[in-house]
Structure 1
Amino acid sequence: MQSPRLLLGYLRSNWYKYLLAVAAITVANVVQSLYPRVLGDFTDTLQAGGITREAIADSALKLLAIGLAFGLLAGVGQYIVMRLGRRFEYLTRGKLFVHFTGLSEHYYSKNGVGKMLSYVMNDVTSVRESISMGINQTTNAVILILSVMAMMLVSSIPYSLIIVCMIPMLAIPFVVVLFGPPIRERSMKVQESLAKMTETAEEQFGGIRVTKKFAVEPIMQNRFGRTVDRIVEAQLRLVRLSSLFQALLPFLGGISLIIAIAYGGYLTIHGSISIGSFVSLTLYLRMIVNPLQQIGNVINTMQRSRASLSRLGSLLAVQPDIRESKQAKPLRKGASDIRIRNLTFSYPNSDQEALHDLNLTITPGQTIGIIGKTGSGKTTLVKLLLRIYEPPEGTIAIGGDDIRGATLESLRTHIAYVPQDGFLFSTTIRDNISFSNRETPAEKAFHAAQKAQIYDNIMQFPDKFETRLGERGFTLSGGQRQRTSLARGFTKDAPILVLDDSVSAVDAITETDIIDGLREERRNKTTIIIAHRISALKHADEIIVLDKGTIVQRGTHEQLLAQEGLYASLYAIQEEGTRHGEAKGPAERESGRRN
């Protein structure tokens, strides 16, 4: 099980620090337990009429020493525990992030970003609180109760009185057993509700522009409100049970105190015990009430922590669908020939084939175009090439080596992939273009921007390449984002470049300039261009036409036009659309290509 190992491994590696903290807190509470005895002795001295200035000063100094020692030792112990708890939080969040980066795309298709954030924020915080507050308060409570019991036993208080006063506290284990499981169950539901709220909030913040454009703010507010209502309901159910549990423990301590006052007062009146012993007894029992409250807090926190640990353990137990074999080796440096043999593939939990019996050979330096209707398998082929999804063994090879036997780092370093909706980060334009290597020289980034036809746009910004982009690059227009992503692909300068409909948001003139720059930039390097517009593929050495996951046509642009088939049909439709566009006025055409 991952969940216990996550916590126990950390505790084991820092056992000596926790031991030092527990020792400091233990001594602090032993010292604190002397407080009632000092007051009891002072009361007996006062009753006997032997009070003097020296006796008062002596008692005051003892109480001062007890207070200083307790404050110093307890403070040191709590600091160590809290510091270790924060470090656990830091290390665990780092571990989760590393785990997230290793998970496959299939996992993210089923789990939203908000759920991931809930693990990192809510669950890790819950576990951190359990080890920080748990160790502090448990040590405080247990040691103080034991110290108080020991002090009562060595005092002049009759054992019979002590036993009678402690009877109500024998019910504490039964209360813990009764309340523990339902508190843990309700804690789990609270954590799940928080995860759902985080997921909903992330989605709505990400889509706020769409929400505003459709003027549906009230609808989204109601949707979010329903999510929050479910959290409130789950939390109130937990609070009601937790509050009842936390009230019962000090209530039992209060009953003990009542018994002490009634029975102890009776014994004091009849001279069986001294007034000082009676004062000491009531103070001892009063000191026990607070630890009982702390035990309740700790048990509540531990139950919530167990729910969070269970969730974290389940997450860390998830294995990525794509894993390297122990014998994995890096791809041969510079290899750019691709061989695809009898490739048939279906997505997980799907009976329908996304690709069927594909065979394709791409030689070094060749430019291949891939076209087809939506859902024909174009992007699926790229995902298999990058091992985002696992291809069948022996179906895809680069440089003669099966990609399933290659290290993931070497495979994905070997390929520069530019998707249609290239994600831009909230940093500078230059950082985004140089994403594959932050040490990229400025001249190389500028050159890539020029080839991607984004350089002039960047130079119009006040901060030029140091312009900071908003979330997901929304500072730029759609076409500018796409061309910035394209420049990122050029900067990587990998042996294989894959453009997945990467010029769909630019006008025809800019597309032509980009393609011309691409041909010059990628001379003697392998390039795969996936597009819906034939104009982006005309120059390709070979064009592959996909339909329902199968290659239905292949050849050069001229060869495919000479055949009757899907390619010629797509070309005719696009030419008709182009002629229709040319019938518009200049202003309309310019408006259509501003992005």
Structure 2
Amino acid sequence: MNRRLSGHRYERMVFVMDNNDSSHEHPAQATKLLWDYIKDHKGYYVVSFLSILIAEVITVQSPNVIGRFTDLLQAGKLNFGAVERYSLLLVLIAIGYAVFFGIGQFRTGMMGRQLEYLFRRHLFSHWETLSTSYFNKRSIGDLLNHAMNDVQAVRQAISQGLNQLSNAVFLLCSALFMMFHTVTFRLTLVSILPILFVPLVVVWFGPRVRVASRRAQESLSSMTDLSEESFSAIRLIKATANEDVAVNRFRERVDTVLSQQLRMVRQTATFQSLIPLMGSISFVIALAYGGYLTVTHQILLGSFVAFTLYLALVINPLQQIGNVINNFQRASASLLRLSVLLGEKPEIVDQSAQTEPISMQGDIHVRLADFQYPDSDIPVLKEIEFSVKRGQTLGIVGQTGSGKSTLVNLLPRVYDPPPDTVFVDGQDVRKVGLADLRSAISYVPQDGFLFSTSIGQNIGFSKEDATLNDIEKAAQQACIYDDIQQFSKGFDTVIGERGVALSGGQKQRTAIARAFLKDAPILILDDCLSAVDMNTEKHIISNLNEVRENRTTIIIAHRLSAVRHADLIIVLDDGVMVESGTHDELMALGGIYARMYTLQQHDSEVTAD
């Protein structure tokens, strides 16, 4: 639902841009990045354009040379020396064109590739600054489509498009200049009249091509999104024999992509065919009127031959200009989408004005009257107050959906708490620099996310300068070291996407080792022992007490044995803190915690029997 709503919001933004051109209301970061890049590298582009200009000035000499050759042939004055001389001239023209045009093509192509790299790096860096709520509303496939296809469309317009445009414009101008000055003025003027209708064709079809391109890209994003989800859920699809369902869903998306792309192809084909049509009409006029002038001896045969060759040169750049305008329309749609992305602002921003890094100890105090998500009016947490001193362990228990994860997510400001409700070392977390705050926290989420690299790199992710000894020590503390030693490549074993090569318990212990390696003042374990057996859990808890001395630890657990040793345990029920105390105090209270613990003990005894 969130993704669907986000898509509608995005389309409304694009609709406003297409119809009102309200650029002052729309973020133009992508356009600014583009123009800043061009201005910073204007010297390279000038060299490229000058090279192409020289190449076109050279190549338009060919029809003139051939025209003179024809006049000599008609007059009977052609000899072997003249043939040799004119042949050499044509060879030199070809070589000169190839050298200068090649320099221009290479320079512009190189700058286009660097621009593509800059855009993708900028996009990824920008995404890293956004709040997690943004990614809850946008699909990964859609974002990847932007990073790949939209950036590529802009790059092609700036490299290939500029190459073709400069080539076409310079060739067109050079050819027209030679036509006016080396042939007859009247013939040239009459022949190019149909070409004057080209701007009207551009004005009419340009916006239609842009809209068709945008819709095609959006349908492609939808298909990419479904593909990413299907590949991620391939185990579920196969286990439930739903391959046909997945294939049918994908076929529907592909049909939509095909429909939108065919619509774009129809618009593009019509647009690109009308421009050479204008050129063909010009050629017919040139043949009729030029033939008449030649037959009546008003112009020489060589001039007529040269003129037809020049006109052929004019038609080719017209086709190129049509293709370039078409590419620019598609690129403008992509640039608009990139501007929407780069214009997104993080919901959680650094409100601290401090410049010097601070060292945090780990004292935590929470006094929260209520908390609701930014897009909801219903409180998910109410009446919560507790304090944890440095070096102590806090246990948080409760039924599924009682708000445990939400509560700990307020600490690193994954969600922004209300002002003056969550404190670390006596400071409101909203007033602490985000970098300092989050650097002081090691967080192991419920899924224990792992990257598709080696298991050693996954553990070392939390500490950039970690040595192999550091990684091995953290693995031993998390009770995953022996498992890793059994792998054929040890710590170099690649575990696949999301750690697919590991069991659930191995994933959790690898994530715990990564958190141990960071050795932050505050450690949050969010139900990350659920897939670990009881004996391994005891070893991890024992190691936890040793390695976390003078460090604050927060453990969320459904299995109460994981928090029994905690200095303070709080019980959440429907977002409300209903009980708090040590294990013994809560057992003596005889409330929710006591009932949960008794029930789990009974289940453990039954399982053992």
Q: Which TM-score tier does this pair reach, normalised by the shorter chain?
A: over 0.9
- Alpha carbons 1:104, 1:320 under 8 Å: kept: yes
- Give 2:157's match in structure 1, choosing from 105, 130, 134: 130
Q: Distance in 1 between matches of 2:256 and 2:378?
A: 38
Q: Give the conservation status (yes or no) of the 8 Å contact 1:343–1:392.
A: no
Q: Provide the C-alpha distance between the structure 2 equivalents of 1:12 and 1:570, rounded to a whole number of angstroms.
A: 67
Residue 383 of structure 2 aligns to a residue in which SS? strand
SS at match of 1:90: helix
CA deviation after TM superposition for structure 1 residue 3, in Å: 3.1
2:277 aligned residue: 251
1: CA distance, partners of 2:111 / 2:534: 60
Q: 2:387 aligns with which of 361, 370, 376?
A: 361
SS where residue 353 of structure 1 aligns? Answer: coil
1:206 Cα deviation after fit: 1.2
Q: TM-score, normalised by structure 1?
A: 0.96
Q: Cα offset for 1:127?
A: 0.1
Equivalent residue letter for 2:452: S
After superposition, the C-alpha distances for 1:201-224 in whole angstroms (9 at most, x for unaligned) are 111111111111112112111111
Match of 1:484 in 2: 510
Q: What is the CA deviation profile of residues 347-373 of structure 1, one whole-angstrom value per residue up to 9, with x for unaligned ones?
A: 121111111232221111111100011
2:38 match: secondary structure: helix
Partner of 1:588: none
Residue identity opposite 2:405 in structure 1: T
Would the aligned equivalents of 2:352 and 2:433 in 1 still touch at CA under 8 Å? no
1:213 corresponding residue in structure 2: 239
CA distance, structure 2, for counterparts of residue 415 and residue 554 of structure 1 = 23
Structure 2 unaligned spans of 5+: 1-27
Q: Could you tell me how far apart the structure 2 residues matched to 1:24 and 1:344 are?
A: 67
One of 391, 398, 405 as aligned partner of 2:424: 398
Among residues 467, 473, 487, which one is paired with 2:493 in the alignment? Answer: 467
In 1, Cα distance between equivalents of 2:329 and 2:97 = 30
CA distance in 2 between partners of 1:61 and 1:331 (Å): 73
Structure 2 residue 72 is the aligned partner of structure 1 residue 64 = no
SS of the aligned residue for 2:380 comes to strand
Give distance in 2, aligned partners of 1:442 and 1:148: 68
Letter in 2 for 1:200: L
Secondary structure at the aligned position of 2:213 is classed as: helix
Aligned-partner Cα distance in 2 for 1:307–1:128: 13
Asked whether the equivalents of residues 131 and 414 of structure 2 are also in contact (C-alpha less than 8 Å), the reply is yes
Which residue pairs with 1:587 in the alignment?
none
How far, CA to CA, are the matches of 1:140 and 1:485 in structure 2? 56
Q: CA deviation at 1:135?
A: 1.0
Task: Give distance in 1, aligned partners of 2:187 and 2:472.
Answer: 87
Say whether the 8 Å CA contact 1:331–1:411 is kept in structure 2. Answer: no
TM-score by length of 2: 0.94
Instruction: Please show how residues 8-47 of structure 1 align to structure 2 within 5 Å.
Output: 8-47=35-74
How far does the alpha carbon of each residue in 1:110-144 deviate from its partner, in whole angstroms, 9 at most, with x for none? 11111111111000000000001221111111111
- Residue 177 of structure 2 is aligned to residue 150 of structure 1: yes
Structure 1 residue 454 and structure 2 residue 480: aligned?
Answer: yes
Mapping of residues 174-573 of structure 1, within 5 Å? 174-325=200-351, 327-328=353-354, 332-573=358-599
Task: Please tell me whether residue 113 in structure 1 is matched to residue 140 in structure 2.
Answer: yes
Q: Return 348-357 or 327-336, whichever deviates more.
A: 327-336
Paired residue for 2:24? none
Mean Cα displacement is larger for which, 290-299 or 573-582? 573-582
Mapped contact 2:352–2:431 kept (Cα < 8 A): no
2:466 alignment partner, SS class: coil
Amino acid at match of 2:398: G
Is the contact between residue 543 and residue 555 of structure 1 (CA under 8 Å) also seen in structure 2?
Answer: yes
Q: Which residue of 1 aligns with 2:19?
A: none
Q: How far apart in 2 are the matches of 1:266 and 1:374?
A: 91
CA distance in 1, matches of 2:527, 2:130: 26
Q: 446-455 or 123-132: which moved more?
A: 446-455
Partners of 2:104 and 2:458 lie apart in 1 by 46
SS for the counterpart of 1:487 is helix
Match of 1:592 in 2: none
Deviations 1:330-385 (A, max 9, x none): 66414110111235211121111111232221111111100011111110111110
**Cα pair 2:352 2:432 within 8 Å, conserved:** no
1:576 aligns with 2:589: no
Q: Does 2:158 align with 1:140? A: no
SS at 1:91 equivalent: helix
Query: How far apart, in 1, do the equivalents of 2:355 and 2:282 lie?
Result: 71
Q: CA–CA distance in 2 between the matches of 1:338 and 1:255?
A: 81
Structure 1: distance between partners of 2:468 and 2:310? 73
Query: 2:218 aligns to what SS in structure 1?
Result: helix
> 2: distance between equivalents of 1:582 and 1:330?
55
CA contact (8 A) 1:328 1:407 kept: yes
Aligned equivalents of 2:206 and 2:224: distance in 1?
27
Task: Tell whether the 8 Å contact from 1:329 to 1:405 is kept in structure 2 after alignment.
Answer: no
Letter in 1 for 2:74: Q
1:593 corresponds to: none
Q: SS at the partner of 1:341?
A: strand
Question: Does structure 1 residue 49 correspond to structure 2 residue 86?
Answer: no
Q: What is the one-letter code of the residue matched to 1:90?
A: Y
Residues 329 and 391 of structure 1, relative CA distance in 2, 3 Å threshold = farther
Matched AA of 1:191: Q
Contact kept? 1:331, 1:398, Cα under 8 Å: no
Distance (Å, rounded) in 1 between the aligned partners of 2:286 and 2:556:
85
- Take 1:329 and 1:360, find their aligned partners in 2: how far apart are those partners? 30
Whether contact under 8 Å (1:332, 1:399) holds in the other structure is no
Q: In 2, distance between residues paired with 1:557 and 1:566?
A: 12
Q: Flag structure 1 segments of 5+ consecutive residues without an equivalent.
A: 584-595
Q: Kindly state the Cα deviation for residue 153 of structure 1 after the two structures are TM-superposed.
A: 1.2
Q: Which amino acid aligns with 2:289?
A: Y
Q: Which residue identity does 2:188 align to in structure 1?
A: I
Aligned alpha-carbon RMSD (Å): 1.3
Report how far residue 404 of structure 1 moved: 1.3
Stretch moving more, 513-522 or 566-575: 566-575
CA distance in 2, matches of 1:293, 1:438: 54
Q: Distance in 2 between matches of 1:162 and 1:431?
A: 70
Q: Deviations over 1:243-262 (max 9, x none)?
A: 11111111110110111111
In the alignment, the residues of structure 1 paired with residue 202 and residue 370 of structure 2 have an alpha-carbon distance, to the nearest angstrom, of 58
Q: Could you tell me how far 1:329 is from its partner in structure 2? A: 5.1
User: Do the aligned partners of 1:331 and 1:401 also contact (CA within 8 Å) in 2?
Assistant: no
Q: Classify the secondary structure of the residue corresponding to 1:136.
A: helix
Matched to 1:525, the amino acid is R
Structure 1 residues 330 and 369, CA, compared in 2 at 3 Å: closer, same or farther? farther
SS in 2 for 1:385: coil
Measured after TM superposition, the shift of residue 91 of structure 1 is 1.1
- Structure 2: how far apart are the matches of 1:48 and 1:393? 96
The answer to whether the 8 A contact 1:499-1:530 is kept is yes
The answer to whether the 8 A contact 1:331-1:406 is kept is no
Deviations 1:478-528 (A, max 9, x none): 111111111111111111111100100011121112111111221221111
Could you tell me how far apart the structure 1 residues matched to 2:385 and 2:568 are?
14
Q: Is the 8 A contact 2:58 2:96 kept in 1?
A: yes
CA shift, 1:172, in A, is 0.3
